[in-house]
């Protein structure tokens, strides 16, 4: 019986991986039409200043409302879009939408309030695409936004090994005043002196480092690591954002450790853009 079950499982796994290949194929084929048909949408997740709990902006996170499979997360289709090159037009669309949204937030805010920033993720294909700088400048101009309203997030892994030529577009954007954040920081193997050469102004510390602080007592090793990273980052004039903050205990701890900004379910899950406005207005009153 055990053997039969074992055999069965083998067969299932096989059928399963076949199904996965087919699903992958059909998802990939559906991507270009999905962009034309407007099946993608963006959720925004607030970025909160730890010092006073106010909202400083939000990260734009793309989703696909698939006619058959329902809402798909980026991990399910961004890799496919990267393989086929569709990530370039898709990424440009995300950037346009996010900039337009940031403009709406600004138009709806009090005159003297600080504008809400918007963070947009970039894929390596976009980084090496010839029109990244001119596209970004055009998007900002069309939306009437000042460059510092935008933060582009690039993962540490995508920058490892990038030479000066590869970094030039990012450096140009940084010189224009666009913020650049190093996403998923700590999951790659960049050596620390390399950090100094990158045109980044922020580190986004990966969720894996803050998981050990969700409940008291905090994992003492994680505390030491975060402490070390914050001190290094601040020495290099980099702000630290922490991802995956899910509890009040964790938020308190990270604030005491000197982290600047936090993002996570404790504050809000990714959601519609209107909600951000409500949160920011609540700060002001
Ligand atoms: P990321 O940039 O590191 O984004 C953070 C991810 O963590 C998001 O997943 C977010 O929903 C999730 N998250 C936020 N707070 C918490 C929390 O408290 N607990 C937990 N467990 N998770 C939390 P999501 O939306 O599934 O996005 C996954 C990744 O897809 C992103 O990771 C980013 O690398 C990529 N991505 C999203 N949108 C875009 C896009 O427009 N372009 C590109 N190139 N990549 C994108
Ligand atoms: Mg990100
Ligand atoms: Mg991240
Ligand atoms: Mg990530």
Per-residue pLDDT tens over the stretch 208-243: 999 999 999 999 999 999 999 999 999 999 999 999
Closest CA to 20 of 69, 92, 87: 69
What's the rounded mean pLDDT across residues 94-109?
A: 95
The pLDDT value recorded for residue 14 is 66
What separation in Å is there between the alpha carbon of 162 and the centre of ligand 1? 23
Of 158, 202, 242, 243, best ligand 1 pocket probe by most atoms within 8 Å of the beta carbon? 243
The SS3 call for residue 144 is coil
Token duo for residue 38: 């407007």
pLDDT over 70 (residue 13): no
Residue 100's φ and ψ, nearest 5 degrees, are -60, -40
Token duo for residue 223: 């505390």
> What predicted TM-score, i.e. pTM, was given to this entire model?
0.93
Closest CA to 179 of 170, 188, 187: 170
pLDDT over 60 (residue 256): yes
Of 63, 78, 97, 185, best ligand 1 pocket probe by most atoms within 8 Å of the beta carbon? 78
- How far is C-alpha 117 from the geometric centre of its chain's CA atoms? 13
Element (H, E) at 231: helix 220-235
The pLDDT value recorded for residue 18 is 73
pLDDT over 80 (residue 16): no
- Give the Cα separation of 122 and 132 in Å (integer): 10
| Residue in the structure block whose two tokens are 């990260």 | 59
Residue nearest atom 43 in ligand 1 by C-alpha distance: 121
Give the ligand whose atoms come closest to the C-alpha of residue 45. Answer: 1
The pLDDT value recorded for residue 112 is 83
The pLDDT value recorded for residue 24 is 87
Q: Is 37 exposed, middle or buried (0-12, 13-18, 19+ CB in 10 A)?
A: exposed
Token duo for residue 6: 């074992």
Max CA-CA distance within the chain? 73
pLDDT tens-digit readout, 160-209: 888 999 999 999 999 999 999 999 998 887 777 788 889 999 999 999 99
User: Closest ligand 1 atom, CA of 243?
Assistant: 15
Closest CA to 153 of 95, 105, 87, 193: 95
What's the rounded mean pLDDT across residues 12-33?
A: 81
What's the rounded mean pLDDT across residues 12-24?
A: 72
Average pLDDT, the chain: 91
pLDDT tens-digit readout, 45-64: 999 999 999 999 999 999 99
- Give the Cα separation of 84 and 104 in Å (integer): 32
């Amino acid at each position: 019986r055990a053997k039969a079950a074992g055999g069965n499982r083998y067969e299932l796994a096989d059928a399963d991986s076949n199904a996965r290949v087919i699903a992958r194929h059909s998802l990939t084929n559906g991507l270009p039409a999905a962009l034309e048909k407007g099946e993608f949408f963006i959720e925004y997740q607030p970025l909160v200043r730890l010092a006073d709990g106010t909202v400083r902006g939000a990260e734009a996170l793309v989703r696909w409302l698939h006619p058959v499979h329902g809402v798909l997360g980026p991990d399910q289709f961004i890799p496919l879009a990267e393989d086929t090159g569709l990530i370039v037009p898709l990424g440009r669309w995300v950037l346009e939408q996010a900039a337009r949204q940031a403009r709406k937030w600004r138009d709806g805010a009090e005159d003297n309030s600080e504008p809400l920033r918007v963070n947009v993720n970039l894929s390596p294909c976009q980084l090496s695409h010839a029109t990244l700088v001119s596209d970004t400048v055009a998007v900002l101009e069309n939306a009437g936004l000042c460059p510092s309203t935008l933060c582009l997030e690039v993962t540490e892994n995508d920058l490892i090994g990038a030479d000066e030529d590869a970094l030039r577009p990012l450096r140009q954007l940084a010189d224009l005043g666009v913020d650049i954040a190093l996403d998923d920081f700590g999951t790659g193997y960049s050596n620390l002196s390399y950090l100094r050469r990158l045109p980044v102004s922020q580190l986004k510390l990966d969720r894996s480092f803050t998981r050990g602080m969700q409940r008291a007592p905090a994992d003492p090793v994680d505390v030491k690591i975060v402490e070390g990273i914050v001190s290094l980052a601040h020495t290099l004039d980099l702000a630290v954002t922490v991802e995956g903050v899910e509890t009040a205990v964790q938020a308190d701890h990270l604030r005491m450790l000197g982290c600047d900004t936090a993002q996570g379910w404790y504050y809000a899950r990714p959601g519609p853009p209107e909600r951000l406005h409500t949160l920011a207005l609540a700060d002001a009153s």
